[in-house]
Amino acid sequence: MAVNSFLRQLAVVAPGQYFYRPDELHVTVLAVIPGSAAWWEKIRDVAAIQAVIGKILQRQRPFVISFRGITASPDAVMIQGFSESEALVEIRDELREVLRKNRLGGDLDRRYKINTAHITVMRFGTVRADWKAFVDLLKANRQTDFGDTRVRKLQLLWGDWYASAQSVRTIQEYPLGDPSHSPA
């Protein structure tokens, strides 16, 4: 609920921006096929990408991300996420390594290398805003506790750069389980 309250407050002081709806909020693990004009060229690789991801994730356990504080960039406002373990880092690193080894990782980290966990809640769209109130709101929420989430599954999604609800399609879900029970 803290996230929704923060979004409502942002909308009051910064109208005209792109605010993520609750069903659009997400944490990106890795942009395997980043949004670009040439995305359609990569569609032929989806089955191979699914297989690589499935093999890696079948050994992973659920993990917790704590959402605390906010940060802003010239493009967006984000809620910061902190993993209690190295699970997210290990998943990303192994995905990068195996996708590249299988010649499926040519677009990985092209725009930037994803290292953190965060939820983007707002993207700047217009200059209309009460900028003093906006900055005050950001400062007031710099250390806000937005809660924890236990990550029990990851999804391979297809969508636009915003991950907008009308464009996102789930290609596959990967439940995370106890590695001691996975097949050899």
In the numeric block, the tokens 């391979």 are attached to 156
Q: Per the confidence metrics, is the pTM higher than 0.85?
A: no
Structural domains in the chain? Answer: 2-175 (3.90.1140.10)
What does each of the 184 residues of the chain score in pLDDT, given as a tens digit? 799 999 999 999 999 999 998 888 999 888 776 655 555 566 678 889 899 999 999 999 999 999 999 999 999 999 999 998 999 999 999 998 998 898 886 666 555 567 789 999 999 988 778 899 999 999 999 999 999 999 999 998 876 666 677 777 888 999 998 555 444 3
